[in-house]
Amino acid sequence: MVLLPKNSFINLIKMRIKPVYFIIFLTLFFSCAQKHPGQKNNSANDYSEGFYVEEFTSFKRITVYNPWEQAIGVSFTYYLFQKGQPVPDSLKDEKVIFVPVERVICLSTSHIAFLEVLGETGKVLGVSGSQ
């Protein structure tokens, strides 16, 4: 059995640990760096889930996942363009919304509360329901 001085053992451990951290760092770095051409920014939201926002040079793409209870594998994609901005031919058949939104029809009275927080209840044109 070979006895190493205390400092040599610590240096040996440090030498073995550094490559492991480096490999973990590289793995995380390259697995998280997935971008599409012309894309500026992807939005990570820490406070809610069920949607993903991708910001491109001239528009934003919002994908909503499983929008109602017990929905599995359901998603809807919306493209947000500034009012007056031309929509490319490749997106003409997609769901395009021009922002800022001027009029809203709420499909539930609970949606009005969200608009009230934003101070935008004046933009509500109608509410779905029998009452």
What are the tens digits of pLDDT across the range 105-131? Answer: 998 888 889 899 999 999 999 998 766
Q: Is the predicted pLDDT of residue 27 greater than 90, yes or no? A: no
Structure confidence by residue, pLDDT tens digits, 68-85 = 889 999 999 999 999 999
Pairwise pLDDT comparison (104 vs 16), residue with the higher score: 104
Residue 23: Cβ-neighbour burial (10 angstroms; 0-12, 13-18, 19+):
exposed
Percentage of the chain exceeding pLDDT 90 = 45
- pTM score, whole prediction: 0.61
